[in-house]
C-alpha cells in the first residue's frame, strides 16, 4: 500500500474511481488539489450517488463527501480516536498550511512520500529522573516503559519517520543499564553513546559536539514526545536563519477560583470566574546550529535555558516553533505514564 494509491486525481470519473476502490484495502480515496484535501470518496458514497441517479461518467468529486474531518500535526492516536468517534473510514493528517501529509486508517498509516532528512539527533538522557521517583530508583528514565516500548524508543521512532537514523544518547545516571538494554535489541538505526563524567545539566552535554557538525542537529530530552512535522521544524529553523529553535507548545491553564481585581483602595473592580490563560511552554525539543554548540563550555554544568539566554546576549538568533498542546506529550510524571500507554503507539 502506498499513499498515492489512495489519492484521486482531478477529473477522474466515478467509474474510474470505483475501479480504484475495488483494489484498495480500505475502500476510501481522498481528493486533492495542490496538496490540499477537498473531499473523501468511499464505496458507500458511490452507492448513494448512483442510487440518486448519478452517472458513472460524472466527475468523482460530485459523489465525494466535502469538508472531511482531519487532524493537524502528527498525532496518529488522536486521528484514530476520531475514526472511532465519527465512525469514518479515514482521517487525513494535515500540516499547519493545510496540506495532507498522511492518511490514518484503523490499523495503518500511509505517509506521503517525501525526501528524508538525515540530520543527527542528540537525546539528553543523563538526568536522575527525580519526577519519576521511585521508578527511577530501579530503572533510568530513558528505559521507563510506556506501553510496549521505552520512552527512548518512542522518541527514536518518531525521528525515523522523517529519515533521521543517526542518534546519540548522552548518558550518565545508570548508564550501563541503558547501554546494555540497547545492545540486546535489534535496531534499524545507528545508535552511539557519550558518557558524562559528571552531571552537565540539560545543555552542558552539547559541548561534546563542538566542531562535529556543520549543519543543524536535533536536540531533545528523553521524557517528552513531540507529534509534529520534523521536516517543517527544520525548514523553519533554516529559513529564518536561527542559531537555535525552541519548539514551544500552547498550554491552557484553568484557575479553579474566581479571580478578583481590586483598585488601590481595596475595592473590588472585577470578578472573573474560573478564568483560563494560554501560555507558550518549553517542550525540551530544539534544533541547534553549530554557532550555538560552539558557545557551550566544556565540562561545565549548564541548563539549556541558561544557554539560550546567553546566546541572545551574544547576538545569536534565537527562534521558536509553535505546536498545539496535544502535540506535546510529557511523561515526566507518574500519572502521565499511566495514561499514555494507548496514546503513544
Contacts with 124 (C-beta within 8 Å, 6 or more apart), sequence order:
170, 202, 203, 205, 219, 220, 221, 222
Candidates 154, 170, 163; CA nearest to 122 is 170
Does the pTM exceed 0.85? no
9 located within any domain: yes
Residues 187 and 292 in one domain: yes
- 303 confidence band (pLDDT: 50, 70, 90): very high
Residues making up the chain, counted from first to last:
345
pLDDT tens by residue, 167-182: 999 999 888 999 999 9
263 located within any domain: yes
Residue span of the structural domain in which 164 resides: 121-339
Q: What is the DSSP letter of 56?
A: T
Residues 188 and 311 in one domain: yes
Contacts with 177 (C-beta within 8 Å, 6 or more apart), sequence order:
139, 140, 143
Residues 166 and 296 in one domain: yes
Domain boundary among 64, 81, 111: 111
Contacts with 326 (C-beta within 8 Å, 6 or more apart), sequence order:
73, 75, 78, 227
Residues 326 and 263 in one domain: yes
72 beta partners: 94
Percentage with pLDDT > 70 across the chain? 94
Helices then strands, each counted (H, E), the chain: 11, 21
Question: Residue 17 is inside which H or E element, if any?
Answer: helix 14-23
How wide is the angle at C-alpha 344 spanned by C-alphas 287 and 238, nearest 5°?
15
66 φ, ψ (degrees, to nearest 5): -85, 160
Residues 21 and 66 in one domain: yes
- 247 confidence band (pLDDT: 50, 70, 90): very high
Residues 191 and 107 in one domain: no
Domain count, the chain: 2
Q: Residue 259, Cα to own-chain centre: how many angstroms?
A: 35
Q: What is the DSSP letter of 29?
A: E
Domain boundary among 79, 111, 143: 111
Half-sphere exposure of 303 (CA within 13 A, CB side): 5
pLDDT tens by residue, 80-96: 888 888 878 888 888 77
Mean residue pLDDT of the chain comes to: 87
Question: What are 295's three cell numbers?
Answer: 558557545
Four-point Cα dihedral 125, 120, 203, 340, nearest 10: -40
116 located within any domain: no
pLDDT at 319: 96
Pairing of strands 190-195, 166-171: parallel
Rounded to whole angstroms, the Cα distance separating 191 from 202 reads: 20
Residues 163 and 36 in one domain: no
Strands of 178-216, DSSP E: 190-195
Residues 19 and 133 in one domain: no
Whether the predicted pLDDT of 295 surpasses 90: yes
Rounded to whole angstroms, the Cα distance separating 24 from 128 reads: 49
pLDDT at 9: 80
345 located within any domain: no
Residues 184 and 147 in one domain: yes
Rounded to whole angstroms, the Cα distance separating 150 from 141 reads: 9
CATH of the domain at 286: 3.90.550.10
- 329 confidence band (pLDDT: 50, 70, 90): confident
Candidates 158, 15, 145; CA nearest to 74 is 158
Domain boundary among 59, 79, 111: 111
Candidates 19, 15, 11; CA nearest to 56 is 15
Residues 87 and 223 in one domain: no
Rounded to whole angstroms, the Cα distance separating 200 from 223 reads: 17
Question: What are 331's three cell numbers?
Answer: 511523561
Amino acid at each position: 500500500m502506498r499513499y498515492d494509491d489512495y489519492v484521486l486525481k482531478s477529473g477522474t470519473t466515478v467509474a474510474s474511481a470505483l475501479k480504484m476502490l475495488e483494489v484498495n484495502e480500505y475502500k476510501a480515496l481522498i481528493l486533492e488539489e495542490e496538496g490540499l484535501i477537498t473531499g473523501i470518496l468511499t464505496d458507500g458514497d458511490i452507492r448513494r450517488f448512483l442510487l440518486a441517479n448519478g452517472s458513472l461518467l460524472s466527475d468523482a468529486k460530485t459523489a465525494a463527501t466535502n469538508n472531511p474531518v482531519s487532524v493537524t500535526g502528527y498525532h496518529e492516536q488522536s486521528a484514530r480516536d476520531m475514526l472511532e468517534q465519527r465512525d469514518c473510514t479515514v482521517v487525513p493528517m494535515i500540516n499547519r498550511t493545510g496540506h495532507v501529509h498522511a492518511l490514518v486508517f484503523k490499523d495503518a498509516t500511509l505517509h506521503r512520500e517525501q525526501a528524508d532528512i538525515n540530520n543527527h539527533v542528540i537525546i539528553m538522557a543523563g538526568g536522575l529522573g527525580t519526577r519519576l521517583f521511585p521508578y527511577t530508583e530501579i530503572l533510568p528514565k530513558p528505559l521507563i516503559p510506556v506501553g510496549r516500548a521505552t520512552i527512548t524508543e518512542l522518541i527514536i521512532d518518531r525521528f525515523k519517520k522523517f529519515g533521521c537514523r543517526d542518534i546519540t544518547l548522552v548518558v550518565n545516571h545508570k548508564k550501563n543499564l541503558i547501554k546494555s538494554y540497547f545492545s540486546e535489541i535489534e535496531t534499524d538505526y545507528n545508535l552511539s553513546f557519550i558518557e558524562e563524567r559528571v552531571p552537565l545539566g540539560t545543555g552542558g552535554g552539547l559541548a561534546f559536539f563542538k566542531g562535529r557538525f556543520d549543519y543543524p542537529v536535533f536536540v531533545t530530552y528523553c521524557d517528552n514526545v513531540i507529534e509534529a512535522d520534523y521536516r517543517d521544524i527544520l525548514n523553519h529553523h533554516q529559513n529564518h536563519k536561527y542559531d537555535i529553535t525552541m519548539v514551544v507548545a500552547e498550554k491552557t491553564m484553568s484557575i479553579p477560583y474566581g479571580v478578583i481585581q481590586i483598585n488601590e483602595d481595596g475595592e473590588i473592580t472585577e470578578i472573573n470566574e474560573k478564568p483560563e490563560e494560554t501560555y507558550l511552554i518549553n517542550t525540551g525539543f530544539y534544533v541547534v546550529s553549530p554557532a550555538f554548540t560552539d558557545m557551550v563550555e566544556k565540562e561545565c554544568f549548564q541548563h539549556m535555558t541558561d544557554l539560550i539566554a546567553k546566546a541572545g546576549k551574544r547576538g545569536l538568533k534565537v527562534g521558536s516553533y509553535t505546536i498545539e498542546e496535544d502535540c506535546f506529550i510529557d511523561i515526566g510524571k507518574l500519572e502521565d505514564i499511566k495514561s499514555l500507554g494507548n496514546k503513544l503507539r
